[in-house]
Chains A and B, each alone.
Chain A
Amino acid sequence: MKRFLGTLTGKSIFLAEKVMRYNASSFPGKLVLKLFPDYLKKVEYPPLVIMVTGSCGKGSTTKIIAEALRACGKTVAHNLEGSNLLNGVASTVVKNVGFSGKMKQDVLVLETDERYLKFITKYIEPDYLVINNLTRDQPPRQGDFDIVFKEILKAIPKKTHLIVNGDDPITRKYSLYTDNKITFFGIDRNFMSYDRDIDDVRDYNYCPRCSAKLEYKYRHYGSVGEFSCPKCGFARKDIDFAVTAVDEKTGELTINNSQKIKANELILFNIYNIIAAYSVLSLCGENSKKTVKAISKAHIGGKIYTEIVKNGRKYTALNCKAENNATYNLSVIYTALDKGPKTIVLGLREISRRYEFFDLSWLYDIDFELLNDGSIENVVCAGPYRYDFAVRMLIAGVPEEKLIILDTLDHAGEVFDKQTKGNVYGILNFDYIPPFINSVNEIKEEEK
């Protein structure tokens, strides 16, 4: 009875929200759980439940999985990006459940917040849990990656099959701490891999099992790459689903030397998302041509990068997250692949939407020094933190005369067009992507 009332309550709220054209994705779930705390225990879930967690890209990976399953004719219930705490998950359940208390979809796919996972798996046991990555991310809220590692560990049900990034010592560490079935995905050396030693930016320099210093054949970002412990043998090996080749020109990925998938964006995070999604889909028996095509076409919403050409110059907006050095470092690595003259644009409006703290320490976990190869023509630093970015770039070795400091990035198109040179890379917090793109769109095309 409670289950029925819970469903009724939740669905009524959804209906009311629809009538009032109001959209608060987690509110119906919040109310249902308030009135019926055990509601989620009483629902009958689909025969296949997949969850994705980690610091970055869990929303994108979830979307790829859901869209590919739909393309193969499955019915899928899946939570909207951001509704990844318990209330959001409850909303998704309420929205998709029938009055009988049964979810009739074939699959439930959930993006889950890494620190709320333990509250969610208390009620819903996933068949597969994908752990994308664990990086420095919102430390005032999350603490450090070791804390998040332990929070996730507590949340893993015994029967859940884990699918983790095998290139990362932190996620691979789950194999040391659980007896769960575990599948590793990874990316082999490719044109984005690098050899440079930047010890201080890495999360794990020492073996999580025996504390010896890890050795690397190549790196992808942070601690991620082909690592091995010279003492105990803990290493990146036995990758079940590996991207064995990346074609720089066509964007085609080769998986396990045979399957080809087209990546819509050639940036490592995106490729890790794709291989994570492919791994779980394959394990579910969904690796047909249709699946592969759907993965290639998956619309992941928030793009990692956007390119616009104006007056013969390429403008690239790279979407990063403040307080998350991995997203910035990947953008820096991506930018550094262009050896030609270039301009960098840096800035952000708010460090966090969730809290009012002014922690800037993460700026020094970003390897901006990698950009200082003599190819920088200008650096535009904009917004409330313009001087902090300017100082960071001075320290990275960019001469002061190359810095352009702006109060805001709004209407900065003319500055880009007239005062800077080369291709322009906006390495920006997500809240500065729209003003960057608007500014670029405002640039007047010169007549040829």
Chain B
Amino acid sequence: MIRIVHLYYDLLNLYGDSGNVKALEYHLKSSGIDFETVRHSLGDKIDLSSCDIACIGSGTEHSLMLALDDIMKYKDEIADFKARGGYILSTGNSLELFGKGIKNGKKEKSALGIFNYTSVYGKRVVKDVRIKTELVEDEIIGFENHSGRLDVEKDIITEDNFIMTYIIGPILVRNPQLNDMIIKRILEKHPDDIDKYSPDHSLEQKAYDVFKSGMK
């Protein structure tokens, strides 16, 4: 049984970020692989003990601060999860939760400190992204829209199996190779299910190709 955890599903949900959970579910389901999605939010007891991948998405500044206060309770648990090789896909400004801190004008707050970056708020960054990464062969495409900036110049930051990006929303839908890579890696820990996995990414790939060729 694959276990997906959707963190702050009803709070950090600003830019279609639930699409990532849906994309994972879709390919597991169509391959006949058993999975379970657990949704956690403010005040719930977040449990990553048998989790394969956790997804977390974008929010308004206010929502992100509510999530920050809550997620700080799980600092050790999240660090353990990372050391065990668990996956976290963090899209949009939620990656700020995993850095050292968030500076917004005179306000400064500590964050989880799993990553070494700090985010500083300023003029909003709005841009399409196409980047080459070490994760997959194809360039990763997506869109960014955020007020924070990291003190490291990178669109996607990975360490162990934690993937942090300012790209908002359904990155796993728009980048079928990335979705495929993550599912395959997760299945390595579930040997009984490996042979069942038979993904069909043809439509996603066509969407990707049309985008790369300039929308025709």
Is A362 located at the chain interface by the 8 A CB criterion? yes
| B160 within 8 Å of A (CB atoms) | no
B9 touching A139, Cβ below 8 Å: no
- Which of B10, B128, B143 makes the CB contact (< 8 A) with A202? B10
Q: Which 9 A-B pairs have the closest CB atoms?
A: A361-B169, A364-B16, A364-B19, A387-B207, A361-B16, A199-B10, A359-B143, A361-B15, A146-B60
- Does residue A394 face the partner (Cβ distance < 8 Å to B)? yes
- B174-211: which have CB < 8 Å to A? 174, 203-204, 206-207, 210-211
Q: Are B10 and A364 in contact (CB under 8 A)?
A: no
B33 at the interface (CB under 8 A from A): no
Known interface pairs A206-B66, A213-B42. Does A395 touch B26 (Cβ–Cβ under 8 Å)?
yes
**Which residue on chain B has the smallest CB distance to residue A146?**
B60
If A201-B13, A206-B66 are given as contacts, then 4 extra A-B residue pairs at C-beta distance below 8 Å, sorted by A number, are A145-B60, A206-B11, A358-B143, A361-B17
A-B contact pairs, 23 of them (CB 8 A): A144-B14, A201-B13, A202-B10, A202-B13, A206-B63, A211-B42, A213-B41, A357-B128, A358-B128, A360-B143, A360-B169, A360-B174, A361-B15, A364-B16, A384-B210, A384-B216, A386-B210, A388-B207, A392-B173, A394-B203, A395-B19, A395-B23, A395-B26
Whether the pair B14, A136 counts as a contact (CB closer than 8 A) is yes
CA distance A111 to B128 in the complex (A): 32
A37-53 CB mask vs B (1 if < 8 Å, else 0) is 00000000000000000
User: Could you tell me which B residues sit within 8 Å of A by CB distance?
Assistant: 9-11, 13-19, 22-23, 26, 41-42, 60-63, 66, 124, 126-128, 143, 145, 147, 168-170, 173-174, 203-204, 206-207, 210-211, 215-216
A211 and B168 alpha carbons, distance in the complex (Å): 24
Q: Contacting B145 at CB < 8 Å: which of A140, A145, A391, A395? A: A140
Is B204 a contact partner of A391 (Cβ separation < 8 A)?
yes
Partner of A364, one of B9, B18, B207: B18
Q: In the complex the two chains form, what is the Cα distance from A144 to B128 in whole Å?
A: 18
Known: A199-B10, A206-B11, A395-B22. A211 touches B66 (CB 8 A): yes
Q: Which residue of A lies closest to B21 (CB)?
A: A200
A199 CB contacts on chain B under 8 angstroms: 9-10, 13
Question: In the complex, which residues of chain B have a beta carbon less than 8 angstroms from the beta carbon of A363?
Answer: 16, 19, 170
Cβ of A121 under 8 Å from chain B: no
Q: Which residues of B contact A139 (CB under 8 A)?
A: 15, 145
Complex contact B126–A358 (CB within 8 A): no
Q: Are A146 and B173 in contact (CB under 8 A)?
A: no
List of B residues within 8 angstroms of A361 by Cβ: 15-17, 19, 143, 168-170
CA distance A147 to B14 in the complex (A): 13
Question: For window 114-150 of chain A, which residues contact chain B by CB distance below 8 Å?
Answer: 136, 139-140, 143-147
Closest to A357 in B: B128
